[in-house]
């Protein structure tokens, strides 16, 4: 009750992001370091949360407190809200702890009414300008604060233009606008049932509540979910004296970065518009000027701005993203924040800031979201390809993309979810398009600049994007676009290069991603800091090589079943399965042996000197046979239509085997080491293949470090028996080939019982690796195949679970089990080698947990290796900082 | 090496069962308390184990030690092995720590050869007897010790009878037997390649090894597995001076119990044969005399035996099963052991022994294997039924049985495994028949007495058995039998009453089991001792009443899905599933509501004053729809044969739903509380049904104690949401009906994550109950449906697992998880109520674990309640004794 809900800008600082939101905290900070910030105040996020606790009522006392503080602002600026002579106008903006660009509502020019508009006309000596501000305010207030249909205002405006015979809004006269204001007020009354409020204080309270409500708008909720932002943060509200960039040609507004957000290159980077309001730049309606031109247009302002930019970067020790407005030649800073940047920019800026002495290496390592590295690994258009672009736009988000044209977000989402590659083409994007943007391979717009909605979002998501390609004429209704005389229809193929802005018809040759010098240096620092080892999962020499190129320190998982699935091997695998005797199976396995040996030889050779974990056959055998239901339909059809009896008999024979192998719950069925126990000849063949390869390599002088891994062990007796087979084969091969090689034998820990009994397993095993996908399935009792389609989505939606446990490790449950497993093993052997393989191994949050649990390594797909290297470093730094 | 492998009888005692086997230890004990035991020695079980460790070689030093000790025996009895004048003959018998009746080999008359047989003839003045002993010895030694085909000996004997023109063996002359001995020696040489050994010491060593080998015979292994006897025990070998019950009419042999092993009634109970060897009684070839007749036949011996029996019972504090032989009027005790008995006998004997002051109550409670109680719960033939038996045999094992006639063990096993009820009909049973006996509802033999193989085994297994029904003429070859002029063919129905020995054609009316006064008293003592509560699982009022009758202290699990499956409800359930909207589902649920309410009303009323755990809907919805594959065949057939398009469309519509609901791993799929989260209206209906019933009962003044149980919870958020629904409905019903009632809400702990997070769950839940079937499935990663058919059998066979974890709780894995769960919950609420429901709740070993873990109750099927009450008492006593 005695809580302070309102802070003047000079009462806050940049540490108070939680309470004042990012924008409010930074406005306070800028105010306090003496930068030209229009005065104002911030209503806290706590007030927002309290608003929701009290069923959308403003907390008691807030109104009083707001009034009191507003008085101080009025005194500072020498204007008064509602004062006809010298009216104060304010902007009302949202500002959460974590920036949600364009996600929330803003109301400008608040304070105007029938009275003050006249005062403003007099003060500015520009009646038309005052009227225009007023009509904009009614429109924005009606739409944003009161939910009046925005189209009604737009239609009235269009009608007026028509009636007046003008093309553009700025051609409308003050008188025409006065008429429009009356029309708008009528629309407002029609839409809300109330007169448009003439009392500025009432306007303000309504606007504050509108901002609070916008925290729970669909698009804000969607954005938070997509970005893992907690709902509990709430938004602050910033109430700030208006300054005008649209009062003439000595006015303007712009945004700029202290470094290039695409490349990281040092130097002012941004855009501005003369005689415009801030929203015009962000919305991408007019294409703005590069910031460098400001030096010609307003040399003093430019010099001052350069100076402020440098001050801010040094003050915040990070690249800044700033908004400014020039009102009649005077510069005002409206916002600063740490700038969003591409991964490449983040890496370069971080490396250079270390070299400039602005930050240290650990700080540099914390500057990049590991998942952003994905961007660096994006393909690019092959520079050697002889291809010609049909048009060019702005290079808004790097990476090349190729896909089917789609012209609306819904279709993009639908096709994308089906796994189709699409490029979303829009005049400009709005927050309503996000669900389609996340599913697209690339984004292409005809309007808007490097800081437009599409550009900002695409960079954040790592999706290639070309903006402002004005040569592109889009007819979204007809689902087509014309470019350089060619018509692009839905499903036509288009390619874009987000690094250069070029647009191509059809598919073009691409090269895979490469890492540059800065990146190598940066990851080198990560390697120095991290404690966790990073390995990759690879089933063949090509992937193994890629893993090495990305810096993997070994292979943490080689799945041998992928090898069984290959076309030339499947017949032998099926022969083995159909055999009714051990001898029959052995004969078939004999055929597979040389091929398997070749597989292992190749991988072990690429990984010479690095360990390679080879997991023995894991999936149930029926996965190698035809689908039961298909077969059932075939047989029934053959029977009904009098098919060849021999064919029927043959299929029925196959059906018998399929049925014998079919399972109610294959995930918990006859697979993994259970196959090894019932068909020891399979694992024996695999052991022979591994050690045969080792023997050959030993003779060549290549150091192979195989780690044989027995999957799905639940009981020490399983491991005991199968290890005995492996050891015996190793001994035989060494004796036969008269050669020595090293190997170890370990197990997956992927069912809870294994985790609970590592004190027994570790006595006989040399290592284990968590199979957290299966461990998550069995710990939760979730079949991933079923859960994701049936209920997991709605669990996350309804917040029963904060995130799918298949994406980030569940610390409380699965993590607890892992901890039991680790303690059990290390009690027996303090240096027992423990890793994790599978998708969690490439997820930064899961990597952080793995670090805290004391694992030796994570293993992930080769492309995730750089991500894991950085995430592991951040985990180490996080721990140190705690 | 310096181990003592051989013990003279006077060196041992009854505590040395581990080392000397049960028989050897008891022979030693009897010797030491001064009973007339023929002198002898015991070779230890360690020697047997060493024999296997050394690849079937006798351990070093054993031969020497045996020789030395034999000398002592020779001196004691004044005879010498191989001495022509006064030859010592010995028996060689197996004897393991745990009795395995008829499972292992015995060799009698060892020491006879061409020389000593003459000495024996002279000493006994009975040449024919000596020759008969010799030919029996060659036959037994050849068959048992050396593996010569027994039929060859039998055929030669039959040929001789024919040649001599006699019907019975005892009619053969000494000369004829002398000829037979030569024939037997030839058969022996033919079969073994060696001459029949004439050196008694060589005979002895071969016989000892034969006993050792018999430990690993197929039937011994099978018996051990069926009775959970560890393979590691090994068998001892008893070498004992022969006494002869077959030297004339002043000789005899018999077996007797100190109490009736069927009823427990105090008093000598047994049988004997005049002029016979011990094996004749056990094998059931001649039908023996009741022990009481011995008083007339040999009054002195009878008096002495009565005295010894009483001494032994007092000495051992338990009912004894004794073997004796009378040689020329002198009584020798050959064996004593605690007698096997029916459950009824065990209970009566235990109760009476307490009353006699022989044992205390706790000891009495330890005297019964809880699983034996099954027998008491067997049905009996309705005493009021007006039916006539076609014949009568001996009442060998109580309980009535009815089933199809089968005449061989293989067929009995095959049909029994398919779930068919069979009665196994044999002339007499042998150890080779066990696999069929265990699958039969009842056993019927035409030969053998109350202590025959069939009778002993059947009592042990709790299978009703009628023995020695001589009116029954069996032709096993032709698979039929004639009884009272009627021919019984395979698959004809027969009924037997093991309590009276009566045999009936066809099916007869039966009554269910009842518990008598002794049993009530006995279980009352168990209730005084036990700490664990015992509840039952029941889904309807009838079962609930049965549970109360058996002493259940509540219902631990009411499965609501069984109610959904009932014929009158399934249409409404299917309507609910097929509905595409919440309203559609609610309309269908509205129909189910009154029925569910009726179910709960009935159960809660029966259980007035006792808690009833009601688990909300658990199985996946597709279980209520037709099978997918059947539907697929139907549709394909309809299509191929030009079926009615409307019918096809209808089935395809159904198929769509079936497909939408079908799952890869239904066990880990969309079921349990996941249904409650996605379709809250289902649980809401169920809550309304429960509380509607409570409201009605409250108005009637009946105390209902419902415990609402949310299944398959993995995360506190699931519980939180569903409890909120339950609480709200309860509040609504109380307000609507203006009545108060108590209820609690808890959860199943059946996935590892729930077990790992009880510290969170216990904050909001009132109780939990382990669903150890699912918990075992998820902890091991075993689908029970698949594992049992695919690999679990071979896991137990190959000893990868000691026993199926679905039969007895896995202490090391699942038990550890349970312990974590219990500690987690009790840290939050020290009195937190915890139970277990499902099959483990009725398994004595699992109950012991539950006691040690500190659970509040076990819940099992009503018929298992008495078993659980006793097992819980034994668990408490076991703990105290430790």
pLDDT, residue B284, reads: 60
Q: Which residues of B are catalytic?
A: 453, 837
Q: Is A714's Cβ below 8 Å from some Cβ in B?
A: yes
Which of the following is catalytic: A133, A402, A673, A837?
Answer: A837
Which of the following is catalytic: A133, A402, A447, A453?
Answer: A453
How far is the C-alpha of A189 from the C-alpha of A195, rounded, in Å?
A: 5
How far is the C-alpha of A874 from the C-alpha of A867, rounded, in Å?
A: 11
Q: Indicate the SS3 state at residue A415.
A: helix
CB count within 10 Å of CB A746 equals 26
List A residues 743-772 in contact with B (Cβ-Cβ < 8 A).
Answer: 750-753, 756-757, 760
Q: Where are the alpha helices (DSSP H) in A712-835?
A: 716-737, 752-756, 758-764, 772-780, 784-790, 792-797, 816-828
pLDDT, residue B530, reads: 97
Identity of the residue in B665, B668, B757 whose CB atom sits nearest the CB atom of A813: B757
How far is the C-alpha of B804 from the C-alpha of A276, rounded, in Å?
A: 78
Measured between beta carbons, which residues in chain B are less than 8 angstroms from residue A756?
779, 812-813, 816-817
pLDDT, residue B862, reads: 85
Asked whether the beta carbons of residue B786 and residue A812 sit closer than 8 angstroms, the reply is no
Mean pLDDT, rounded, for B567-579: 87
Listed in order, strand segments (DSSP E) in A476-528 are 480-483, 486-489, 493-497, 502-505, 510-511
**Across A140-154, A266-280, B457-471, least confident range:** B457-471
Sheet holding B330-338, edge to edge: B289-290, B266-274, B252-259, B320-327, B330-338
User: What's the pLDDT tens digit per position in A475-500?
Assistant: 988 999 999 888 999 999 999 998 78
Identity of the residue in B640, B666, B816 whose CB atom sits nearest the CB atom of A665: B666
How far is the C-alpha of A256 from the C-alpha of A251, rounded, in Å?
A: 16
pLDDT, residue B864, reads: 86
CB–CB contacts below 8 A, A to B: 205
Can you state the angle between helices B541-549 and B582-606, rounded to 10 degrees?
30
Q: Is A786's Cβ below 8 Å from some Cβ in B?
A: yes
User: What's the pLDDT tens digit per position in A91-104?
Assistant: 999 999 987 866 66
Asked whether the beta carbons of residue B668 and residue A670 sit closer than 8 angstroms, the reply is no
| Interface-testing mutation among A715, A719, A752, A773, with chain B (most B C-beta atoms within 10 A) | A752
Of A569, A559, A632, which is closest to residue A595 (Cα–Cα)? A569
How far is the C-alpha of A88 from the C-alpha of A79, rounded, in Å?
A: 5
**DSSP assignment of B701-750:** T---EEEEEETT--SHHHHHHHHHHHHHHHHHHHHHHT-----EEEEEE-
Mean pLDDT of chain A: 91
Q: Indicate the SS3 state at residue B754.
A: helix
Measured between beta carbons, which residues in chain A are less than 8 angstroms from residue B671?
none
pLDDT, residue A558, reads: 95
**Across A448-452, B150-154, B575-579, least confident range:** A448-452
How far is the C-alpha of B197 from the C-alpha of A648, rounded, in Å?
A: 64
User: What's the pLDDT tens digit per position in B373-392?
Assistant: 876 777 778 767 888 899 99
Measured between beta carbons, which residues in chain A are less than 8 angstroms from residue B787?
668-670
What's the ipTM? Answer: 0.78
User: What's the pLDDT tens digit per position in B81-112?
Assistant: 999 888 999 999 999 998 786 666 789 899 99
How far is the C-alpha of B725 from the C-alpha of B745, rounded, in Å?
A: 11
Identity of the residue in A664, A674, A798 whose CB atom sits nearest the CB atom of B666: A664
Asked whether the beta carbons of residue A677 and residue B781 sit closer than 8 angstroms, the reply is no
User: What's the pLDDT tens digit per position in A650-674?
Assistant: 888 888 888 888 888 999 999 999 9
Identity of the residue in A665, A718, A800 whose CB atom sits nearest the CB atom of B668: A665
Q: Is A665's Cβ below 8 Å from some Cβ in B?
A: yes
> Closest residue of B to A818, CA-based?
B756
Asked whether the beta carbons of residue B753 and residue A781 sit closer than 8 angstroms, the reply is yes
**In percent, how much of chain A has pLDDT > 90?**
67
- Confidence class of residue B200 from pLDDT cuts 50, 70 and 90? very high
3-state secondary structure B416-438: HHCCCCEEEEECCCCHHHHHHHC
Q: Is A670's Cβ below 8 Å from some Cβ in B?
A: yes
Of A23, A518, A449, which is closest to residue A266 (Cα–Cα)? A518
DSSP state of A197: P
**DSSP assignment of B190-205:** HHHSSPPP--HHHHHH
Residue A1 has pLDDT above 50, yes or no: no
How far is the C-alpha of B413 from the C-alpha of B422, rounded, in Å?
A: 9
With tokens 């004048």, the residue in question is: B85
Mean pLDDT, rounded, for B279-292: 76
pLDDT, residue B1, reads: 47
Q: What angle do CA A346, A348, A354 make, to 5 degrees?
A: 100
Q: Is the pTM of this model over 0.80?
A: no
Measured between beta carbons, which residues in chain A are less than 8 angstroms from residue B783?
663-665, 667-669
Residue B697 has pLDDT above 70, yes or no: yes
Q: Is A638's Cβ below 8 Å from some Cβ in B?
A: no
pLDDT, residue A514, reads: 55
Identity of the residue in B636, B664, B674 whose CB atom sits nearest the CB atom of A636: B636
Q: What angle do CA B490, B493, B498 make, to 5 degrees?
A: 110
Q: Is B718's Cβ below 8 Å from some Cβ in A?
A: yes
Residue B412 has pLDDT above 60, yes or no: yes
Q: Tell how far CA B814 is from the center of its chain.
A: 25
Q: Is A621's Cβ below 8 Å from some Cβ in B?
A: no
pLDDT, residue B514, reads: 55
Q: Where are the alpha helices (DSSP H) in A246-397?
A: 278-283, 294-297, 299-316, 343-356, 361-366, 373-376
Burial class (CB in 10 A: 0-12, 13-18, 19+), B646: exposed
User: What's the pLDDT tens digit per position in A242-255?
Assistant: 999 988 899 999 99
Can you state the angle between helices A865-881 and A844-853, rounded to 10 degrees?
50
Identity of the residue in A668, A790, A813 whose CB atom sits nearest the CB atom of B782: A668
Exposure of A275 in the CB half-sphere (CA atoms within 13 A): 6
Nearest-CA distance B635 → chain A (Å): 9
What are the backbone dihedrals phi and psi of residue B10, each rounded to the nearest 5 degrees, phi first? -80, 0
- Confidence class of residue B312 from pLDDT cuts 50, 70 and 90? very high
How far is the C-alpha of B111 from the C-alpha of B131, rounded, in Å?
A: 13
User: What's the pLDDT tens digit per position in A313-367?
Assistant: 999 999 999 999 999 999 999 999 988 887 888 999 999 999 999 999 999 999 9
Listed in order, strand segments (DSSP E) in B219-349 are 235-241, 252-259, 266-274, 289-290, 320-327, 330-338
How far is the C-alpha of B614 from the C-alpha of B600, rounded, in Å?
A: 8
Give the tokens for residue A498.
Answer: 């987000």
> Closest residue of B to A752, CA-based?
B779
Asked whether the beta carbons of residue B664 and residue A666 sit closer than 8 angstroms, the reply is yes
Identity of the residue in B781, B783, B795 whose CB atom sits nearest the CB atom of A664: B783
How far is the C-alpha of A287 from the C-alpha of B388, rounded, in Å?
A: 108
Asked whether the beta carbons of residue A783 and residue B667 sit closer than 8 angstroms, the reply is yes
pLDDT, residue A799, reads: 87
Mean pLDDT of chain B: 91
- Indicate if A453 belongs to the active site: yes
- Confidence class of residue A285 from pLDDT cuts 50, 70 and 90? low
Can you state the angle between helices B680-700 and B716-737, rounded to 10 degrees?
40
Exposure of A118 in the CB half-sphere (CA atoms within 13 A): 4
Give the tokens for residue B683.
Answer: 């649980």
User: What's the pLDDT tens digit per position in A199-253?
Assistant: 999 999 999 999 999 899 888 888 888 777 888 999 999 999 999 998 889 999 9
pLDDT, residue B609, reads: 97
pLDDT, residue B381, reads: 80
How far is the C-alpha of A458 from the C-alpha of A341, rounded, in Å?
A: 10
What are the backbone dihedrals phi and psi of residue A881, each rounded to the nearest 5 degrees, phi first? -70, -25
User: What's the pLDDT tens digit per position in A761-819?
Assistant: 999 999 999 999 999 999 999 998 888 778 988 898 888 999 999 989 999 999 999 99
Q: Is B818's Cβ below 8 Å from some Cβ in A?
A: no
What are the backbone dihedrals phi and psi of residue B636, each rounded to the nearest 5 degrees, phi first? -60, -45
- Confidence class of residue B282 from pLDDT cuts 50, 70 and 90? low
Asked whether the beta carbons of residue B787 and residue A714 sit closer than 8 angstroms, the reply is no
CB count within 10 Å of CB A168 equals 7
Q: Is B795's Cβ below 8 Å from some Cβ in A?
A: yes
Of B414, B408, B456, which is closest to residue B439 (Cα–Cα)? B414
């Amino acid at each position: 009750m005695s809580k302070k809900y309102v802070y003047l800008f000079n009462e806050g600082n940049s540490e108070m992001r939680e309470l004042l939101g990012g924008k409010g905290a930074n406005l306070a900070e800028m105010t306090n370091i003496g930068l030209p910030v229009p005065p104002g105040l911030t209503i806290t996020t706590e007030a927002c949360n309290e608003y929701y606790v009290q069923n959308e009522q403003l907390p008691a006392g807030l109104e009083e407190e707001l009034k009191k503080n507003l008085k101080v602002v009025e005194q500072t600026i020498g204007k008064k809200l509602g004062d006809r002579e010298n009216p104060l106008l304010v902007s009302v903006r949202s500002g959460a702890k974590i920036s949600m660009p364009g996600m929330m509502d803003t109301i400008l020019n608040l304070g105007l009414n029938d009275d003050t508009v006249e005062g403003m006309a007099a003060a500015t000596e520009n009646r038309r300008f005052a009227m225009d501000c007023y009509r904009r305010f009614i429109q924005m207030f009606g739409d944003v604060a009161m939910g009046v249909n925005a189209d009604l205002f737009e239609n009235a405006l269009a009608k007026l233009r028509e009636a007046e015979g003008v093309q553009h809004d700025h051609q409308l006269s003050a008188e025409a606008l006065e008429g429009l204001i009356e029309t708008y007020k009528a629309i407002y009354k029609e839409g809300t049932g109330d007169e448009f409020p003439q009392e500025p204080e009432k306007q303000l309270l309504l606007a504050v509540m509108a901002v609070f409500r916008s925290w729970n708008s669909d698009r804000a909720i969607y954005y938070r979910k997509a970005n893992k932002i907690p709902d509990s943060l709430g938004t602050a509200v910033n109430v700030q004296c208006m300054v005008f960039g649209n009062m003439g040609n000595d006015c303007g507004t712009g945004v700029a970065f202290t470094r290039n957000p695409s490349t990281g290159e040092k130097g002012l980077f941004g855009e501005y518009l003369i005689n415009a309001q801030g929203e015009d730049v962000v919305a991408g309606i007019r294409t703005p000027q590069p910031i460098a031109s400001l030096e010609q247009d307003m040399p003093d302002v430019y010099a001052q701005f350069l100076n402020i930019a440098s001050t801010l970067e040094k003050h915040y020790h990070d690249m800044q993203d700033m908004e400014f407005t020039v009102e009649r030649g005077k510069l005002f800073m409206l916002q600063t924040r740490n700038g969003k940047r591409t991964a490449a920019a983040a890496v370069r800026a971080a490396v250079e800031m270390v070299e400039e002495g602005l930050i240290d290496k650990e700080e540099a390592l914390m500057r990049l979201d590991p998942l952003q590295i994905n961007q660096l690994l994006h393909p690019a258009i092959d520079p050697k390809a002889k291809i010609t672009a049909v048009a060019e736009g702005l290079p808004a988000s790097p990476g090349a993309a190729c896909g089917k044209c789609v012209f609306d977000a819904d279709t993009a989402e639908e096709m994308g979810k089906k796994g189709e590659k699409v490029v979303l083409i829009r005049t400009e994007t709005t927050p309503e398009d996000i669900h389609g943007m996340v599913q697209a391979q690339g984004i292409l717009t005809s309007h808007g600049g490097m800081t437009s909605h599409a550009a900002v979002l695409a960079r954040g998501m790592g999706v290639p994007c070309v903006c402002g390609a004005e040569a592109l004429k889009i007819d979204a209704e007809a689902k087509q676009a014309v470019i350089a005389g060619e018509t692009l229809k839905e499903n036509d193929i288009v390619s874009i290069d987000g690094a250069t802005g070029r647009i191509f018809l059809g598919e073009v040759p691409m090269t895979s991603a490469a890492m540059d010098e800065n990146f190598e240096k940066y990851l080198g620092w990560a390697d120095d800091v991290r404690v966790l080892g990073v390995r990759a999962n690879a089933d063949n020499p090509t992937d193994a090589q890629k893993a090495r190129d990305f810096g993997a320190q070994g292979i943490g998982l080689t799945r041998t079943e992928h090898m069984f699935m290959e076309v030339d091997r499947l017949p032998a695998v099926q022969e083995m399965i159909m055999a009714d005797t051990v001898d029959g199976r052995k004969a078939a396995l004999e055929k597979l042996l040389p091929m398997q040996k070749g597989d292992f030889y190749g991988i072990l050779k690429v990984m010479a000197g690095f360990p390679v974990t080879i997991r023995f056959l894991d999936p149930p055998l029926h996965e190698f046979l035809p689908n039961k239901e298909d077969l059932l339909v075939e047989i029934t059809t053959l029977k009904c239509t009098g098919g060849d009896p021999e064919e029927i008999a043959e299929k029925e024979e196959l059906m018998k085997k399929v049925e014998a192998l079919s399972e109610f719950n294959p995930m918990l069925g006859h697979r993994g080491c259970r196959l090894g126990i019932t068909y020891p000849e399979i694992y024996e063949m695999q052991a022979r293949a591994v050690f045969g390869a080792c023997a050959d390599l030993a003779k060549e002088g290549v150091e192979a470090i195989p780690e044989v891994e027995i999957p799905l062990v639940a009981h020490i007796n399983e491991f005991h028996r199968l290890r005995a087979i492996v050891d015996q084969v190793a001994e035989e091969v060494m004796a036969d080939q008269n050669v020595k090689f090293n190997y170890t034998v370990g197990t997956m820990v992927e069912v809870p019982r294994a985790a609970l009994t590592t004190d027994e397993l570790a006595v006989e095993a040399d290592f284990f690796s968590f199979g957290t996908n299966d461990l998550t399935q069995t710990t939760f009792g979730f079949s991933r195949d079923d859960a994701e389609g049936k209920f997991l989505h709605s669990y996350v939606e309804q917040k029963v679970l904060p995130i799918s446990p298949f994406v980030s490790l569940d610390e409380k449950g699965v993590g607890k089990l892992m901890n039991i497993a680790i303690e059990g093993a290390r009690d027996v052997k303090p240096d027992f080698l423990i890793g994790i393989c599978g998708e969690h191994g490439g997820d930064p949050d899961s990597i952080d947990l793995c670090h805290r649990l004391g694992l030796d390594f994570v293993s992930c797909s080769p492309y995730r290796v750089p991500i894991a290297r950085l995430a592991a470093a951040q985990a180490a730094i996080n721990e140190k900082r705690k």
